[in-house]
Amino acid sequence: MSTLRIPLLCPWLLLAGVIWHSEFSTSATLKEIHKVHCTLIEEHTYSGEKGLEIEYLRRNAMLLLKSPLTEEDWRRHMRETEAANIISFVVKDAAVDISQHADDDIDNLLCEIKRYSTAGIQVHWPGSATTNDNVDSWFSCTIKHKDDKFIVTSFLKQLPSPLDQSEEDTAKVQDYNSVKPIRDHDTLVLAAVFIVYTRTPTIQQSLTRDATLDCGFEVDHSPADVMVEWRFQHKGERKKLFSYSTRTGMAETLAKGVSVSVKKIPKGVASLHLSSISIGNEGAYVCSVYVPPLYGSHDLQLEVIESPMVTIHSSKELVLQEGDIEKLVCEINGYYPLDVEVEWLREVPGKHLLPFVVKNILFTSHRHYNNGTFGISAFFLLHASLIDDGVVYTCRVSHKSLRVPIRKKITVHVKALPSYFMVYVVIVLIILVSLLIYLLRTINKAKEAQKRKPY
């Protein structure tokens, strides 16, 4: 029997695959098609050699943000997901709009869904999504942009399915640790009730400038009992910067140069403002928003970057005499972070050749300035000859703060030695050769005279 089922299932699987591919291979945005491919991550606890161990299971899923309205649409959707063996999470009547904060080409989105546990904290959720269960079943969904443009975490409350009202599925859950297994083709109906998001997962800023770390949230009811907290962590150290509770109306700022607009928090804006940042401000900032019993947080990374200043000579041209030895120095100062790449290039004008990388470049040790930036020098000795006349030497500097490398050029002009000088050089060479010949003859005569002595 099993051998007969495979051919019968193939058309359904092929059709489901075509539907799945056609829906997700386009360049449509999340707002246009209201669905995105996700990964359901579930924790599986088992007894191992070291005691209880946790294994993370990853399964294909689909998040549908605009639920079908009619019963026939529901049935068709469930048949498609069942044929494709895909878990479907349908967000019904969302009071908070996920796609508003995660709208982009769906090919650029990474989506993960997990069960969310309130750890036994039982608080009646006053929003629009209400159920008759003693204990709510929660999921969290995090959508990230591949290029770090945003991160959105939504909290989803499970609702009864409109097509499945069996006694088993509507039974009340008495224990928050008890969860119903999710089958590969199940469709779960959810309500989005709480969102925490940031549009600056990573922000880069120069020294002495101001920076704003974006953090926002939405709740499906107002007024909401909200607690906001900002923490800073760097090199193992963690400290609180700011906290606020709508219940008490008390705000606490624990660091200089940081501020959060308390007036904007009830409107869902909890962004942190940093004034005149320094190297010490670099690190991870954690924005936490707690609406009991749900806790959402995002880590935001602040990177301090400072572009280098590059100089090589007081003028753009250097005039040398043939035979001179000149030290060409490239000074790179005031950059951060430390890593910098410096090259000297040699280019002959009029010849369509790639610049030649000068070898045997010497570097000084890094200089560390009071503001935390660095400096270094790269130099080489140029032995001037006529083949260097008109040659362009370029110091090329690459750094994380630069979109394109900085290039500083200097043109070398080499003058030939005058004719009288060449005559002088020839005379000196003749004298030196004559002296050498005279010395050699004197040495030979001394050796011959020593041989004639009797012993």
pLDDT-based confidence at 69, cuts 50/70/90? low
Beta strand 202-205 with 187-198 is: unpaired
**Listing from the earlier edge strand, what are the strands of the sheet with 202-205?**
202-205, 294-304, 283-291, 227-234, 237-245, 251-253
pLDDT-based confidence at 165, cuts 50/70/90? very low
- CB-based contact 155:138 (threshold 8 Å): yes
pLDDT at 135: 58
pLDDT at 181: 84
pLDDT-based confidence at 423, cuts 50/70/90? low
Report the range of poorest mean pLDDT among 8-17, 63-72, 221-230: 8-17
End-to-end CA distance of the chain: 120
**309-415 sits in which CATH class?**
mainly beta
Q: Phi, psi at residue 25, to the nearest 5°?
A: -95, -5
pLDDT-based confidence at 441, cuts 50/70/90? confident
pLDDT at 236: 80
Q: How confident is the prediction for the chain on average, in pLDDT?
A: 84
Does position 348 have pLDDT exceeding 80, yes or no?
yes
Q: Phi, psi at residue 449, to the nearest 5°?
A: -65, -35
Domains in the chain: boundaries: 1-120+134-165+183-199, 201-304, 309-415
pLDDT at 451: 65
Q: Given this chain, do its domains 201-304 and 309-415 carry the same CATH topology?
A: yes
What superfamily would CATH give domain 201-304? Immunoglobulins (2.60.40.10)
Cα-Cα-Cα-Cα dihedral sign, residues 165, 167, 168, 169: positive
Determine what percent of the chain is predicted with pLDDT higher than 90.
Answer: 54
Q: How far apart are CA 93 and CA 376, in angstroms?
A: 60
Q: How many CB atoms lie within 10 A of CB 51?
A: 6
What length does the chain have?
Answer: 455
pLDDT-based confidence at 438, cuts 50/70/90? confident
pLDDT-based confidence at 95, cuts 50/70/90? confident
Residues β-bridged to residue 415: 321
Q: Which of the two residues, 56 and 70, has the higher pLDDT score?
A: 56
pLDDT-based confidence at 234, cuts 50/70/90? confident
| 333's tokens | 């100062």
Report the range of poorest mean pLDDT among 32-36, 124-128, 260-264: 124-128
Interval 181-201: pLDDT, tens: 888 888 888 999 999 999 999
Q: Which residue has the tokens 């120095």?
A: 329
* Spatial CA neighbour of 197 closest among 139, 152, 140, 154: 152
Q: How many CB atoms lie within 10 A of CB 307?
A: 16
Determine what percent of the chain is predicted with pLDDT higher than 70.
Answer: 84
